[in-house]
Structure 1
């Protein structure tokens, strides 16, 4: 490799949500370039370098103490039920001091209720963040300067990211790998973990709510058809007819199942397909736009700019380079 692996340090506070803590070494540890070289060096740390108790009765070993944070390129905080953080919104003294030493170039991310830790450190001040939907109201009440969105699976705000609970942490890690090294690397990790490389919708679909009257109906078949026929121009009315529902019922059911409107969901599928083609083919931008149903290169450029703030050819150059390692 031409450079050292990106250093990720996972900050574990007791009692840690064990599942959350194991996501990061699994996902980033499986990310390799085309030559099989590791792209990330993942280390776990605790306050004193000792094993950390989990919420389910077992302890997790770590690589060291808080000094590891000083050399981190990325710091990721998994979910915790640490009473200082969760009950009073304050960090343990040693953790607060470690965050004060942070480099301005360090990237931060939280999984699930790890968001409370970053919020207590002031990292989310004035910025969007998410957490498990059951804890979103508590996060917003405890930290009013944080812009909490309980509906999404994860939020990417550049150098600060956050995810909803548990398996949404996998979505976040795959997104970070995709952002760092492109779709091909992220897809390899997803295949290794036997998970979808990209999950539709947000956590709004998991929030407890009364079962709708039309619970026997689903938009799944329509979404599968749309995914196979992205080049087709299709209206919500046509989607509803294919699902044998009224347009109003279809739109309500679609949002309940995915957390998004049909139009927003379809636009996201098209831009994700376009990103894959930009990375894996030499097709002209106009041809890619036609294949994914975005019509023209101009339209693709506008959508990609909104999604990742980069032009198609810049995106292709960036991720072709990243994929080749």
Structure 2
């Protein structure tokens, strides 16, 4: 994926568009995540009409910047808002103009409706909170709505599901811009999972076992410290003191995907960190992350990131 990373000398101008009925959690997410890298992102809050904006939760928030902020932004983030209060036409025009100028457009939760209203999702795949996906598909039939995923990256336009999925998307944007090390640092400050893939399910249809001896979190943590070793399901199940069948079922219930996919994501993430922070050979990185050979790492890495380990290192190695 092409990066729209800030330059080494200029902070990336990030505008957050606050609409009537804004969801305060969604508003806080980009402030917290991108605010963890103040030298890299210059955040400005704006609203269609400077002044007081009511939140969905009943609070009144005050903002001094207007829509002209969007026209100077490198990235525009639209948090979720009350769908009974549609954005005014000037806000939709400003979103359209920002996109046409080349700004990256990001929505959190129901913020996707504003992007769709500006015509920015036509012909694209997008998502929103699972409770609103049917409404988005009905209101905007030119949009392919994926109701199951955490977020969708379509290059210049990115959309997320509700609540914590906004965290995942913002961290994904940082990962695109600055690499895994920076994203993981922001995740630590937010006390968030460092990497949940966009294709992970928004919610788990079956109940999740309780944490008193049933959760697999301890086994997942153990696996992260043993990524350089073979980790077949039988070994993971043995660590969790479960049968392979029960372990596999519970793993999907807790993470939304199978162990093999979770391990591959973790190994690619570790490979990114090694490529960013040290001068290991590709062969050494492959060995350390448990992918065996350089050829296997290159194939898996390219499929996951769209680039090669060497190109990734050239882009993100900070030494």
Q: Is 1:94 the counterpart of 2:95 in the alignment?
A: no
Q: CA deviation at 1:48?
A: 1.1
Q: Which residue of 2 aligns with 1:274?
A: 271
Q: How do residues 246-257 of structure 1 correspond to structure 2 at under 5 angstroms?
A: 246-257=243-254
Q: How do residues 67-82 of structure 1 correspond to structure 2 at under 5 angstroms?
A: 67-82=68-83
Residues 268 and 140 from structure 1, CA distance in 2 versus in 1: closer, same or farther, beyond 3 angstroms? same
Distance 1:149 1:252 in 2: 24
Distance 2:197 2:9 in 1: 34
Q: Which moved more, 1:72-81 or 1:133-142?
A: 133-142
Residues 196 and 52 from structure 1, CA distance in 2 versus in 1: closer, same or farther, beyond 3 angstroms? same
Gaps of 5+ in 1: 33-37, 86-90
- TM-score by length of structure 1 reads 0.86
Q: What does the per-residue CA deviation read over 1:22-49, in whole Å, with 9 as the maximum and x for residues that have no partner?
A: 22222222204xxxxx111111111111
Residues 304 and 175 from structure 1, CA distance in 2 versus in 1: closer, same or farther, beyond 3 angstroms? same
Q: CA RMSD in A?
A: 2.6
Q: CA deviation at 1:202?
A: 6.6
Residues 56 and 315 from structure 1, CA distance in 2 versus in 1: closer, same or farther, beyond 3 angstroms? same
Select the residue among 163, 169, 190 that pairs with 1:193.
190
Q: Which residue of 1 aligns with 2:36?
A: 30
Residues 251 and 2 from structure 1, CA distance in 2 versus in 1: closer, same or farther, beyond 3 angstroms? closer
- TM-score by length of structure 2 reads 0.88
Q: Which moved more, 1:129-138 or 1:291-300?
A: 129-138
Gaps of 5+ in 2: 1-6
Distance 1:314 1:249 in 2: 41
Q: Which residue of 2 aligns with 1:106?
A: 103
Residues 20 and 301 from structure 1, CA distance in 2 versus in 1: closer, same or farther, beyond 3 angstroms? same
Residues 148 and 261 from structure 1, CA distance in 2 versus in 1: closer, same or farther, beyond 3 angstroms? farther
Distance 1:57 1:75 in 2: 25
- DSSP-derived class of the 1:134 partner: helix
Q: CA deviation at 1:67?
A: 1.4
Q: Which residue of 2 aligns with 1:3?
A: 9
Distance 1:263 1:74 in 2: 34
Q: CA deviation at 1:106?
A: 1.0
Q: What does the per-residue CA deviation read over 1:292-325, in whole Å, with 9 as the maximum and x for residues that have no partner?
A: 11111111111111111111111011012xx47x
Q: What does the per-residue CA deviation read over 1:169-205, in whole Å, with 9 as the maximum and x for residues that have no partner?
A: 2222222112111233333323333334334787637
Q: What does the per-residue CA deviation read over 1:97-150, in whole Å, with 9 as the maximum and x for residues that have no partner?
A: 223323342101111111111122222222222222222232233333323333
Select the residue among 14, 19, 24 that pairs with 1:13.
19
Q: Is 1:264 the counterpart of 2:261 in the alignment?
A: yes
Select the residue among 287, 290, 307 that pairs with 2:287.
290
Distance 1:239 1:197 in 2: 21
- DSSP-derived class of the 1:126 partner: coil
Q: What does the per-residue CA deviation read over 1:150-169, in whole Å, with 9 as the maximum and x for residues that have no partner?
A: 33332222211122212222
Q: Which moved more, 1:185-194 or 1:295-304?
A: 185-194
Distance 1:28 1:139 in 2: 27
Q: Is 1:167 the counterpart of 2:164 in the alignment?
A: yes
- DSSP-derived class of the 2:201 partner: helix
> How many residues are treated as equivalent by the alignment?
312
Distance 1:221 1:2 in 2: 39
Residues 125 and 201 from structure 1, CA distance in 2 versus in 1: closer, same or farther, beyond 3 angstroms? closer
Q: How do residues 28-177 of structure 1 correspond to structure 2 at under 5 angstroms?
A: 28-32=34-38, 38-85=39-86, 91-102=87-98, 103-177=100-174
Q: Which residue of 2 aligns with 1:35?
A: none
